Amino acid sequence: MSFPETNVALLPALQGQPIERVQRDGVEYVVLGTAHVSRSSVEAVDALLANEHFDAVAVELCDSRAQSMRDPEAFKQMDLFKVIRQGKAGMVAASLVLSTFQKRLADQSGIQPGAEMKAAMDGAEQRGLPLWLIDREVGTTLKRAWHSVGFWQRFGLLGGLLASVFEREEIEQAEIEKLKQGDLLESAFSEFASESKPLYQSLIGERDAFMAARLREEATRSATSEPRRVLVVIGAGHLKGLCTLLRDQQSDPATEVEKLGATPPKARWPKWVAGALVLLVFAAIAFAFHRNAALGTQALLSWVLFTGGFAALGALAAGGHPLSIVAAFIAAPIKPFRPGIPAGGISAMAEAWVRRPRVADFETLRDDIVHWSGWWKNRVARTLLNFFLVSIGTIIGEYTAGIHIFKSLI
């Protein structure tokens, strides 16, 4: 059930603030819906902590986002070679692109998005209260969102991310107001989230269920004989869904957390299709040698020149060092015989080795990438850009080479 607490609700800082009080399994959850770019939300968090007794504080953050807020400089310790080897370059780049959206909001609104979450964490620490991080890992959410949509919608998502990098106009006030009532991830993909039910579900609906289960799970772990009160600080866009699920959810919380926190398995069919196409190309090259040694040599040369050439163009477009361009040209043609790190990864590691990122590159990374030219100026960003453009160039080269070789046999 929900019930008001009038003596606290009359505080000026809480006037007009969306607050729900939900009691479940002997625990009272005081759920504050906040605006991610509003000073009043920070004041509301402080007012609740100062005027009510709580046994714990829960925030709409995952471990990685909380760590980023606690230590904004932690990303300076990023090991680029490790990121590339582990195949996390895409996730790091997506996070950086989202950070440009955050910085533009902060510059325009005068307050850093998530300041109310930081206030809740600081308040819990000052009072010696347990802090519950209840949101799903942002990387898992992005992966589940990516897998929830079709092939063509993914191009739209990528286009939206790229547009946010090159967009230089001020964010419209209506968009900022929407963010005050919504969610940063939802706002970043607002156009697609509103039109795609699966995308909205992965970005918002699943997280509502995940956070409700996490609250119940944490309450079970810290069960005592005394009634407990927990302050829950979440974005206003999650308030209704979370409170409804917190009242009605009947599944085992640990099972629900495990299910919704699982990373979706990678689809195998794209690799199978790509592998089949490469096998067809090499079968065509073998057939060309069978017909005529000169024709076979020409087909093999076409494969090397097209795949290596387009990969090298990708490195060149990224402003790569000559050595990373050469690495791209060599790695792309032998990709089918060299499973593991893609040609983009090899070229990017060569770029990072020759032009090793400096401390200053990490210090200015988030400021540099707000402007599109910063992706070429900053050594960290340029290495990630090299990875993507070489990978795209390699794919284009493979298809172009295949078409050229098949035409030569007709």
**pLDDT tens digits for 21-52?**
999 988 999 999 887 667 788 889 999 999 89
Burial class (CB in 10 A: 0-12, 13-18, 19+), 308: buried
Indicate if 226 and 275 belong to the same structural domain: no
Rounded mean pLDDT, 111-140 = 88
User: Does 100 fall in a domain?
Assistant: no
What is the pLDDT at residue 126?
Answer: 94
Three-state DSSP class for 167?
coil
Identify the residue with better confidence: 171 or 228. 228
Q: Is residue 366 part of a domain?
A: yes
Domain boundary among the residues 231, 260, 289 is at 260
Q: 260, 282, 316 — which closes off a domain? A: 260
Q: Verify that 280 and 211 share a domain, yes or no.
A: no
Domain count, the chain: 2
Residues 181 and 203 in one domain: yes
Based on the fold, state whether residues 10 and 153 are members of the same structural domain: yes
Asked which of 260, 293, 310 is the last residue of a domain, the reply is 260
With respect to residue 96, please indicate whether it lies within any of the assigned structural domains.
no
Classify residue 104: in a domain, yes or no: no
Cβ burial, residue 16 (10 Å; 0-12/13-18/19+): exposed
Shared domain for 309 and 192, answered yes or no, is no
Same domain assignment for residues 14 and 144: yes
Q: Which of 1-5, 158-162, 270-274, 325-329 has the lowest mean pLDDT?
A: 1-5
Q: Give the pLDDT confidence score for residue 208 in this predicted structure.
A: 93
Residue 95 lies in a domain: no
Q: Are residues 64 and 213 in the same domain?
A: yes
Q: Is residue 101 part of a domain?
A: no
DSSP states of 236-249: HHHHHHHHHHHHH-
Percent of the chain with pLDDT over 70: 72
Q: Which of 372, 378, 363, 366 is nearest to 106 (CA)?
A: 366
196, 54: one domain: yes
Considering the domain boundaries, does residue 103 fall inside one? no
- 8 A C-beta contact, residue 189 and residue 157: yes
Same domain, 299 and 170: no
Model-level pTM?
0.69
Answer yes or no: do 49 and 184 share one domain: yes
Q: Does residue 279 sit in the same domain as residue 358?
A: yes
The answer to whether residues 256 and 209 touch, using CB atoms and an 8 Å cutoff, is yes
In a domain, 315, yes or no: yes
Q: Which residues form the domain of 359?
A: 269-409
Residues 20 and 165 in one domain: yes
User: For residue 220, which amino acid is it?
Assistant: T
Cβ contacts of 89 within 8 Å, gap of 6 or more:
83, 344, 345, 348, 384, 387, 388
